[in-house]
Structures are given as structure tokens and as C-alpha cells.
Structure 1
Amino acid sequence: MTFRVDCHVKVLNDRVVERAKRAGLDAIVYAPHFTRLPEIRERAADYTDDELLVIPAREVFTGSWRQRRHVLAIGLEDPVPDYIPLETAMAEFDRQGAAVLVPHPTFANVSFEEADLKAHAETIDAVEIFNPKHFRLHNRRARTLAESLSLPPFTSSYAHLPRTVGVAHTAFEAAIEREEELVTAIRDGIARRVVYDNGLDQLTTMVSELAHLVYENTWKKVDRLFLSGTEPTHPTHIAYDGRFDDVSVY
């Protein structure tokens, strides 16, 4: 039995679901930016059907904008905000028994470096060794790091655009029907294959996704930081009941 999962997508609509099914996926992991877990869970449930499981997750932005570390957590019960120290986030993931995945390691200033991977190796369950947004050098470096630290691999489309969904996926050798079973498979290091195309199609995907990344980190960042008020995932937001007020980096 093989269970094919695109382990990290940022968008979810009818086009995304249709594309995922055409790609032969059994599930996608939906983790949009700056969106609270209850909303993610509700939207994931709305798009789940007998052919495709949509699994809710959070990519938490730890630290400040200048020293960000992104961490993907699957299986959270209690919401975890952005803009808290990496150590606080990792401790919270561990407390909740979530599957902890490291997306795009060593990429720009938003990712785990080698020292971070070593420091949190006991909590990390998998490292992304291929991201279609990256150059081959970055992907080779990620694979080398995962292998050197004996951390299990995964891949994803990291899709911010619907057309990117399914261009890479992780195929687990397990029968998985629910979110909890995927969390167990990841945490237990169940055998899996990373599946991707490293040819011309990947280059086209990289160009379009990087163009979108530039947009996200210019006007959208300015809007988020200065114009939109308190983010729903800010640690001082009322939704977190003051639990993270004393560790907020902003």
C-alpha cells in the first residue's frame, strides 16, 4: 500500500483539489501563512472527500523577520502562534506530540541552518530534501544535511500557486486514512519515497514560484507589518489567552 502526499501546500480551492486528484495524490497538507489552526481545520474539512484527504497543518514563523525559522507542524491540537522563539515553538510541538517537519532547510534567511538541525534533531521528524522552488545546489545541500544527521526525508510542492500542487510528493509505504495516521507514519519514520521531476518542468515551476515569492516579500510584507493591524497568529492575539505574551518577539 502506498499513500501519496503533497506534504506542504499554501493554497486550497477547487482548482487545487482537481489538480491534486489528477496528479494521483491521496492527500495534501494545507498550511497557509498567518492563518489560525481552527480556520485551517475548517477549510481542510470542507475540501476533503472520498478521493482526497486534506490535512490541516501550521507552518509557524518563529523569531523575528530578520531571523526567521520556519517549522511545519502536523497534528496540533492547541494553536501555536508565529513570532515566538524557535525553542518555545519546538517545545510546544513536542508537548502536543505533533509531527515536526523542516521545510526548505538553509534557504535564504527563513530556514533551519545546520546548527538548528543539530540542536533540535531529537524533535525533528523529517527534513525536506527537494523543493521545486530551489536550485539544484540547495536541494543537494538539503539532502546531504538530512543524510548526515540521519533525519528522514520528505518533499512537497510548497505550492503558493494552484498549478504547482502535486509537482512533488512523498509516497509512504503505509495505509493511511486519517490525519493521526499520517502523524504516526512521519514520527515513526515509516519507509517512504520522495518523488519529483528535476527537469524542465521543475525549472518552469521554480521561476513562477520565485516570482510569487518576490511579491509576497515586498508589498504583501509591507501590508502585513504596517497596515493590517495585529495578525490573527500574533502571540498577543486574544485567541491565545495570554499564554505566549511573555515570549512574543514583537
Structure 2
Amino acid sequence: MHNSTVSKDGVVSDGGVSRVDCHVKVLDDSVVDRARSAGFDAIVYAPHFTRLPDVRRRAEAYSSDELLVVPAREVFTGPWHDRKHVLALGLEEPVPDFITLEAAMAEFERQDAAVLVPHPEFASVSLSADDVRQYAESIDALEIFNPKHLPSHNRRARELADELEVPPFASSYAHLPRTVGISHTEFDADVETEADLLEALKNGASRRVVHRNGLERAMTTALELAHLGYENTWKKADRLFLSGTEPTHPRHIAYDGRFDDVSVY
């Protein structure tokens, strides 16, 4: 295991230690079993293209006294070919995909959500360094490790977090159940509820980024990157979004026209 300690303002919590996988895309019995085996206290569940009420229902169904499942939305801002992902926790109202980054950040601020930057500067799916600089005051944490990254991506993300003094986090970013357990964030705080995790993130609780190294990590990276290849096909995007019927399309009837003026499709 690799372990790196990071504190904000040098303050260490008097509470307990909680292990959290801050971003998984899949949720079933095998994911829960792997998270429990890894000693996790919580996982953050943010599936693609799923509306917030549905995410909340599934998260609640898999939560238990042994493992908290926190619902979240990874919102795809901008057009498909230049989309910028932002992870939001604590939303009370749904936010669609494929609206402008400016509109998404304004909506997160309005709802007082915890705003996390997953995989910065990674492929064509991420906030750039300039984006992070622009919104640094609104960002609660920046991801400095996930197994989909190559080592250079992790180094660059860590440099960016250090430069802007944004608290870090790690996740498995698991699109495949077997990835859960590879990496997580260890908070010096008790995380027993969704509100506890929001407080730890928004108040910059002291934390450690923990991940495995060696062959298992290398195999996980290879499998996750292969899965990424499918996800990033334009054919899939065309099928899902240009019709406007996808549940998280900004012009879907569920959003009652609120985001029509900031939709990119």
C-alpha cells in the first residue's frame, strides 16, 4: 500500500478514522462485499447518466450499518468531444448533463453541494488546470489518484492540488466491480452519515490518500482503460444524447425547461 498524509491548515480531527472510496460508478452485492472486505466505512456512488432520485434510491437500498453508500452526480459539462466532469455531493435537486461548466458550478453553489474534481486534465473528460484555477475557491477537493490514471496523470494532479492548495482525494473510480478496494481516502473524522462526509469534504478534514501498487494495480489500470475506450465512442454519445430522451439530457421533460438556455445540445 502507498500512504500519503495531507492536512489543511495543520489541523487534525479529534474524531475517528474513516475509509472512503470517493467515487464508484457501479453498485451491486459484489461491490458492497469488496468495499467491506477492504475495511471501507463509505463509498460514493455516482453512476453515469442516472438522475439523482434514482441514484438516491439505489444508494439507500445498498446502505447498511456496515457500509454507508452516499449518492452523488458526476455531471458531464460541455459537449461530448470536450466534456468536463465535475462530481457533486449533497445535491437536493437534479442537475442534468451537457450544460455549460459555468452553469453547473453556479447550480452547485446555489445548492451548497460539495464539489470534487475527478481525474483532472485526463483525456477529454476533465477540468483543465485553467478550469481548476478559475473555480479553485468553489472546489472542495481534487483527485490525485485513481487507478485509471497513468503515473504521469497522478503526478500532475498532485502538483495541481499542491499549487492551488486544494485538498486531495483518491477513489477507485470503479467502472468494474473488481476495481473497488484498490484505492481510497482515509479521513481523520467519523463518517457515519452523508452529512458527516459532506462536512469532512467542505471543511477540509485531515486525510490520507491510500492506494495499492504492483501487479494488481497495473492489471486494474489496463482493464479500466480498456473499458474507457468503449465509453468514449461517439456512436454511444450519438445514441444517448442527440435524441434528447436520455434521463439526464438537459432538455428532458424532468427538468421542466430550467436548463434549456444553458444546454449545449
TM-score by length of 2: 0.91
Determine the C-alpha separation between the residues in 2 that align with 1:28 and 1:87.
28
Other structure's SS at 2:250 match: coil
Q: How does 1:93-172 map to 2 (within 5 A)?
A: 93-172=108-187
User: Is residue 2:103 matched to residue 1:88?
Assistant: yes
1:223 Cα deviation (Å)?
A: 3.3
Q: 1:179 to 1:70 in 2, by over 3 A?
A: same
1:158 Cα deviation (Å)?
A: 0.1
1:193 counterpart (191, 208, 220) = 208
User: Is residue 2:25 matched to residue 1:25?
Assistant: no
Aligned to 1:64: 79
Determine the C-alpha separation between the residues in 1 that align with 2:50 and 2:113.
18
Other structure's SS at 1:11 match: coil
Q: CA RMSD in A?
A: 1.2
Determine the C-alpha separation between the residues in 1 that align with 2:249 and 2:174.
24
Q: Which deviates more, 47-56 or 237-246? A: 237-246
Counterpart code for 1:59: E
What 5-or-longer segments of structure 2 have no aligned partner?
1-15
- Count of residues in correspondence between the two structures: 249
Aligned to 2:3: none
Q: 1:159-206: CA deviations, max 9, x gaps?
A: 000000121000110112111111111010000100001322111100
Aligned to 1:221: 237
**What percentage of residue pairs aligned between the two structures are identical?**
67
1:225 Cα deviation (Å)?
A: 4.1
Other structure's SS at 1:122 match: helix
Aligned to 2:51: 36
Determine the C-alpha separation between the residues in 2 that align with 1:26 and 1:175.
9
Conserved in 1, the CA contact under 8 Å of 2:241 and 2:249?
Answer: no
Q: 1:7 to 1:214 in 2, by over 3 A?
A: same
Conserved in 1, the CA contact under 8 Å of 2:244 and 2:252?
Answer: no
Q: 1:117-156: CA deviations, max 9, x gaps?
A: 1100010000000111111011000000000000000000
1:222 Cα deviation (Å)?
A: 4.5
Determine the C-alpha separation between the residues in 2 that align with 1:200 and 1:242.
49
Aligned to 1:207: 222
Determine the C-alpha separation between the residues in 1 that align with 2:79 and 2:239.
16
1:67 Cα deviation (Å)?
A: 1.7
Aligned to 2:89: 74
**Relative contact order (alpha carbons < 8 A, sep ≥ 6): 1 or 2 greater?**
2
Determine the C-alpha separation between the residues in 2 that align with 1:222 and 1:16.
30
Determine the C-alpha separation between the residues in 1 that align with 2:261 and 2:241.
20
Determine the C-alpha separation between the residues in 1 that align with 2:136 and 2:74.
18
1:224 Cα deviation (Å)?
A: 2.0
Determine the C-alpha separation between the residues in 2 that align with 1:220 and 1:52.
33
Q: 1:186-244: CA deviations, max 9, x gaps?
A: 01000010000132211110000011111222354353246x75210011111112111
Counterpart code for 1:224: L
Counterpart code for 2:29: D
Ranges of 4+ aligned residues in structure 1 off by more than 6 Å: none
User: Is residue 2:247 matched to residue 1:240?
Assistant: no
Conserved in 1, the CA contact under 8 Å of 2:43 and 2:68?
Answer: yes
Determine the C-alpha separation between the residues in 2 that align with 1:147 and 1:138.
14
1:84 Cα deviation (Å)?
A: 0.5
Aligned to 1:10: 25
Counterpart code for 1:223: R
